[in-house]
Structure 1
Amino acid sequence: MGYLESASSLPALPDSRLDRLLRKINEETNLPTLGIAIAKVVEITSSCEDSVAQLAHFVLSDVGLTQKILRLSNTVQYRTSSTAAVTTISRSIFLLGFNTVKTSAMAMLLVDFFKDKTQAVSVRKELVRSLCASIIGREMSQKGRFQNSEEAAIAALFKNVGRVLVASYDHLLYTQIERICDATESSYVDAAQMLLGCSFERFGEMALQSWNIPDAIVQAIAPLPNGDLQKTPLRNDWLKQVASFSDALAEIVMIGQHNAPGRIDAILQKYGQVLEIDKKALSTMLVKIEAETRQFAKSMNIMLPHGLSDTEQLKNSSGVPSEFLLKTIDPIPEQNANRYASGKPYNARDLLLAGMQDVTQMLASEDLQLNDLILLVLETLYSSMGFRFATVCLRDVTSGRYTSRIAVGENYASRQKGFNFTVKSEADLFHLAMSNNVDVMISDASVPKIRNLLPLWYQEILPDAGSFMILPLVVQKKPLGFFYADRAVAEEDGVSAEETTMIKTLKSQLLTAMMRGTKIAAHV
């Protein structure tokens, strides 16, 4: 009697198991937050003018996510020939690429949410498979015949989400399905259908729909039709093919090519023609994908196997495969420096220097966008000096007002709206700084002489600012705007002469780009 037959003789599982599992997932306290976060990242598209700023805002709002993206940026796979560490999310986006950071952020959100479950080994295994598939999907999107096909990486990432969720929320069911497949020739589709009531893919579709993920991505993780695949002129069908291909190839990366004889040829036979990839291209891609998956997993403290064939060599004294144990990775020193009472890092000088180097590299790029450069300078000032809130305001010639274009930090969205005032000269600190082109660094904003120079609009939105900085942006005696950054406490530590020089250099680098005329007409 086969295992499948004996399984049917076991006490019947409740018919409502699927419903109960879906309800459990949807009632989980933190899961809706995960769904909202992922949906927010999906909404951030490269077609938006401020998409880089939106993505940077999203990442910076989560300290843990910020750390992981920076770790990924500083891995061997992504580091440039420069020896300077990547210390800003803006630079990470510029270095890794917008879509890579976007997909990486979603993968990291999944890992952060699920990695501490009791059944951690199974969950991490499925998560690494998902992130590997997302890397494959990204590679295919770059080679694909459809423009703006970055959704391929997202669809590939979520192709395995049903297995991740079942492993996380009903580990007994997950192991029962695994045992059936190991002991018989039954497919995961058949085993899941028998015990769960639907395939893992269908279950994943239901979960994504509850998270309000766009239909194009939900449809892309559905099973492919039976029979031979055909090259399709439809983008959505192509996404579905790429998602399935990415998941199948990720499984081979997970178990090792040496343990999957004939599987590569089978994948090529099924997908090669329709996705326009041959054996040589696939072999080259596999080498890159495996290396990148290792770096990606390492940045999230997840270790992959080293290709050892002897499973006993992969186990430690606890019997748990070592590739799925968390390994401590030394954090990036620049991001974990001790701080003064004001919040300013002890190594502010080093962080400012790294930011200057990042700006220099961006200035040398042919793809330089002024918005991206402004964001990089703003984020460098914000993180290097430990400010609470920072923004850049630019002059709008149509309305005759200074308005905040980009902001980062605490309550940035609401505070950004308040930075909107007339360019008409008035006797306040902002207009005085710009008309005289003088950098202002106030260590104690409570001093009566300073308070008397603060405009009413400022006191309404930032009544608790303890110290702040104003850096005018003036080109050929024409005020274009200014940088502003503050803390909630007085800055007793002060700003050293060397730090002041570096801050002025950062501003000068931006002014150099402005004087080049880099899309300046769109902003002033």
Structure 2
Amino acid sequence: MKAALLDRLWSRMNERGDFPMLSQALRTTMAAMTNDDLDFSALVQVVLSDFALTQKVLRLANSAMYMAFGGNITTVTRALMVLGMDAVGHLIVGLKLVDHFHHSVPRRIDAKLELNRTMLSGCVARKLTERGDLRAGEEAVVCTLMRQVGKLLVVFYLDAEWDKIRREIDAGIEENQACNNELGVTFDEIGLEAATRWRLPETIRAGMTTYETPDNPSRQVEWLRAITNYSTEVSHVLTTPNISDSVREARIAELANRYGRMLGTDPETLVEMSIALAGEESDDGVMREIVELRANADAIAREALDPEARIAAGVEDLRALPSDNPIGPVLAMASETVLAGLNFTRTVVFVKHGAGSFKASLGLGPKMDAMLPTLGFTATFEPDVFHLAIANSVGIFIENARDPKIMARLPEWFRRAFDDARSFVILPVVLEESQSTVALMYGDWSHSQEPRKITQKEMAALNGLARELGRFFAEKPKREMEVF
């Protein structure tokens, strides 16, 4: 059951387009690390493909710690010889993870806060290990980042589900339990599944799990778990809003006493290091952003309750994409925006295929995967609400789908598929130059939800999103628009 659910989650995340790129980059890195070819060609190519990564590897190889090797290292191959394959490989994995989520981050305060918490935990782990073996230190940083990958994947790729999970967490339910209540798997299980699919080594998969588990781990794994869990919990304490400095310090002291022995550091030193880190300004602005996000944490709740703002933020995300962006990820982003913004039961995107029909190309919500192949209708005019929407330049909202007058205008395929729909909206996606409708976005509330209306401002925001979608269709050749 969990395996099937995780497969569905991966399918949903793959629809965004950028997730498979991350997966491929990490698998390539791990394959290169296990390659015995002494010219390091595969791992060198991974590093050289990323300018920022190249500079970081060369800076590290030329740092004071490695001056004994001659200094002035100008090639990645030489840097690999100095630093070692494992250390550079782990450095790549950590940077690829952070870079992916940094560039994928939605314009939502909660997503930014979770990413910054993860980055801060990595800062704590690196601080704890900076005086020791580089390979072990970078491995510990990767374990620490991976400890939170499950949560990040949900926050970034499953907007509607995350909103429900966050509300449970805010009500006092433990994070993994809240995730399991909504998805049937925990954040930890999603993270371990990611580590397995990315082919990360067993040591990292073991090191990213909960501390003090009864599996009798090796001392190395126990040490990795201590760093991973201490760093994660400290970052959470440092970013928790509305607690006093004294309470914050007391909580960190409790963590230092729990983990100090395994970390080989006395609790007082751990507390001092952790508190000092909270006041530092790191190179990438992590600490500054965390302070700003913490100071404005109440905006998370306001944002969650403001559908117009959520939809407007989604429109801005779409505007940031080039017109030649692949259409699949664009439609997925728009669908998630509408689903989460209005807390719909489901959303469906119908795309026009040639001149003959509209077919469902993407759907979000319960049982949509099985339902999609059955959803579609001909473009030939029929006196129903979908053909009315095709002829409109703006969306239409049906408040009561059970009204006899409306029922007479609902096609048979709709009544079969969406017999629990209470209210729904249909948004036409229109090509500006031809004023022809190339797609329809559908979203509904079911009878299990409280009845509500779409306000004029919300409808205006939805129409703005549909207009923005038209830009991506306008740039596509006809054959590409028909392949989903």
- Structure 2 length as normaliser, TM-score? 0.48
- Structure 1 length as normaliser, TM-score? 0.45
Instruction: Find the structure with the greater CA-based Rg.
Output: 1
Q: Higher helix fraction: Structure 1 or Structure 2?
A: 2
